[in-house]
Amino acid sequence: MENSKDISMAVVRRLPRYYRYLEDMLARGVTRASSAELSRSMNATASQIRQDLSNFGSFGQQGYGYNVEMLRDEIKKILGLDKEYRLILIGAGALGQALVRYEKFEKKGFRFTGLFDNDPNRIGTFIRDIEVWDVQRLQSFLSGNPVDIAVFTLPRDGAEKALDIVTGAGVKGIWNFSYRDLRISGGTKVESVHLTDSLMTLSYMLSEGNK
């Protein structure tokens, strides 16, 4: 994977979908597939799949096709899913609670180890078996507990301050649901999910359809 730094984010963003479909195929007992079969399952063109996968080495064999399990394992490794990640949640409102309760994340190796909020009504409550702590304790928590990913589900006004604390403590990944785009310097990686933007994109598509 020496060249993997050159892979475009457009390709990277398709990999989780490939991974999901390969898991599906394995669950159905499919062990081997041609790129045409992958294409039908994945709803992508065979040439795009071949091209995307060729970024990561050579998985297909002429006349045999792809070994589904090997391909799944390789993509798993590329996506960093062969490791475990410790997550904290900052903002334990309805969305934050939903994320902590979503069991699929844990199965993929993403485990919440700390939850923080500034609302006295939430501090001291439990989500699953984890207690919500006062966000004032965030810094001291981070000094004693290594964290890989901080999940931001807090209102925009708190996001900047929380960002300073977590990046200052060396947290390398931010999964950002706050309305604000976070500006990061240094080696921190941010992946944002802007739900409102997504809904607006849908209203654009609906509105286009009516013209």
DSSP string, 148-160: SEEEE-S-HHHHH
Spatial separation of the C-alpha atoms in residues 159 and 162, rounded to whole Å: 5
Long-range contacts of 119-126 (CB under 8 A, 24+ apart): 119/92, 119/93, 122/92, 122/93, 125/92
What distance lies between CA 138 and its chain's CA centroid? Answer: 22
Q: Which of residues 17-36 bind a second copy (CB under 8 A)?
A: 17, 19-20
Tell me the number of residues near a second copy by CB under 8 A: 59
Long-range contacts of 160-165 (CB under 8 A, 24+ apart): 162/90, 162/135, 162/138, 165/138, 165/139
Spatial separation of the C-alpha atoms in residues 82 and 66, rounded to whole Å: 21
Neighbours of 155 (CB within 10 A): 13
Q: Which is nearer to a second copy, 46 or 190 (CB)?
A: 190
Residue 207 within binding range of a second copy, rule CB under 8 A: yes
Segment interacting with a second copy (CB under 8 A) among 45-53, 101-109, 112-120, 138-146? 101-109
List the one residue from 62, 83, 120, 126 that touches a second copy (CB under 8 A). Answer: 83
Residue 16 within binding range of a second copy, rule CB under 8 A: yes
Q: Which is nearer to a second copy, 136 or 199 (CB)?
A: 199
The DSSP call for residue 183 is: P
Q: Which is nearer to a second copy, 129 or 191 (CB)?
A: 191
* One character per residue 56-75, x = contact with a second copy (rule: CB under 8 A): --------------------
Spatial separation of the C-alpha atoms in residues 178 and 195, rounded to whole Å: 9
Residue 141 within binding range of a second copy, rule CB under 8 A: no
Which residue ranges make up the site for a second copy (CB under 8 A)? 1, 4-5, 12-13, 15-17, 19-20, 43, 78-81, 83, 85, 93-95, 97-99, 101-102, 104-105, 108-110, 148-149, 172-173, 175, 179, 181, 183, 187, 189, 191, 193-209, 211
